[in-house]
Structure 1
Amino acid sequence: MVKPIHSGEVLFECGAPIQSVIFPLDGLVSLRSVLKDGRMIENVAVGRDSMIGGLSVLGQKRSGGTALAAISGRAAWLSLGDFQAAMEMDPSFRPAVFSCVSQLTRRLMQNVVCAAAHSATQRIASWLLHADDRMTERSFDITQRMLADIFSLRPATVSDSCNKLLSAGAIHYSRGKLSVMDRGLLEAQACECYEAVRAQEPQECVHHVHAQSA
């Protein structure tokens, strides 16, 4: 089943039973840890190159965090039973799934390094590049408040970083709509984590399972 996802929409609650696997077709989903004070901080963002709920293949029964749509788009929902059936029917699907799980683990590890070592502007530039890689349009809706929540930064810090990227000619940003104007300039502002992650991304695509189960 394909349906729209809207920025700010919670797709999985932390601790909820995993009953479906979600494949973003466009848009971006933020996987977050929830703190005791209610704050949610992003661990990794998932787009059309991966899935949410894939850890069920390793026996995980409940969501380890909250999945929240950061950028509106569409996603395909597949019941856990149909997902497991596809794993059995298609020999090529299982390696692709494990490749995606491995990729997310590597990105999580890189994000830990990124948060500790790089500036707000570098981190935001890298995140926007990852988002641009996974979007079907060059412009997308995202608020500075959403970016502040993703990185657990003060809104003023995010505003300063966006203004730097805007002044550099890397992006255009107005009223919550962001466009990547020059990827080369944006890459120049980004930290090394973007290229480190991109170099390890697998070529397999797991979205063909949706067509199989339709």
Structure 2
Amino acid sequence: MVGNDGVFGASQALDDKVSLNLVTVQIAGKASVMAADRLRALASELPDFKALLIKYEQFFLAQVQQTAACNAVHDIDARTCKWLSRMHDLVGPDLLLTQEFVARMMGVRRTSVTTVAGALQGAGLISYSRGRLHIVDIERIRKRACECDDAVRSHFRRMFEAVETDTHKDRCV
């Protein structure tokens, strides 16, 4: 998943290759779009920008690999909590989406999402009604998530900790 922390399609733009992916917007919001030629030109002019794009692509690949392994070995409850944790990181606690859409994103049946959402709501972790999901207790959601949630968060921290520190340092000067 890509949110306010990332970019999609940079490697294809940098290498002038065709993207073979289908991108689905999960949550409405704002996005910036840039022509591939302009991105390529900026990356040529700004080596730090190019390095950041490449670093994000490495993180994205790690996230995809972790998700593939997760889908093979973890149950729907743990995977749903991992997904909710990542969505919370990307867009916050309020999500406008249907159970059908969540089922498609997770590759499971809608009835499985209904069961898990009911259990999470019953435990006081989320509130859910007619396509509106609110994450009530993110810490308890993260405790129920599989270890893949921590792994993805750890990958992100390792790769971007210096970037966050540098950005914060610039604001303090």
TM above 0.5, yes or no, is: yes
Pick closer, same or farther for the CA change 1:168–1:60 going to 2, 3 Å: farther
Residue 149 of structure 2, aligned match among 194, 199, 204 = 194
Amino acid at match of 1:189: R
Q: Following the alignment from structure 1 to structure 2, what is the Cα–Cα distance between the partners of residues 60 and 119?
A: 39
Q: Is the 8 A contact 1:166 1:172 kept in 2?
A: yes
Residue 49 of structure 2, aligned match among 78, 87, 93 = 93
- Corresponding residue for 2:37? 81
Identity of aligned residues (%): 27
Displacement of 1:91 in angstroms is: 2.3
Structure 1: 5+ residue runs without aligned partners?
1-44, 206-214
Displacement of 1:64 in angstroms is: 1.4
Say whether 1:121 aligns with 2:121: no
TM-score where L is the length of structure 1: 0.71
Q: Following the alignment from structure 1 to structure 2, what is the Cα–Cα distance between the partners of residues 90 and 58?
A: 13
- The structure with the greater share of residues assigned to strand is 1
Displacement of 1:94 in angstroms is: 1.1
- Corresponding residue for 2:122? 167
**Aligned residue pair count:** 161
How do residues 146-185 of structure 1 correspond to structure 2 at under 5 angstroms? 146-185=101-140
- Corresponding residue for 1:46? 2
**Greater C-alpha radius of gyration:** 2
Q: Is the 8 A contact 1:142 1:176 kept in 2?
A: yes
Q: Is the 8 A contact 2:13 2:37 kept in 1?
A: no
Q: Which runs of 4+ in 1 moved over 3 A?
A: none
Q: Following the alignment from structure 2 to structure 1, what is the Cα–Cα distance between the partners of residues 21 and 51?
A: 24
Displacement of 1:62 in angstroms is: 1.5
Amino acid at match of 2:141: L
- The structure with the greater share of residues assigned to helix is 2
TM-score where L is the length of structure 2: 0.87
Structure 2: 5+ residue runs without aligned partners?
165-173
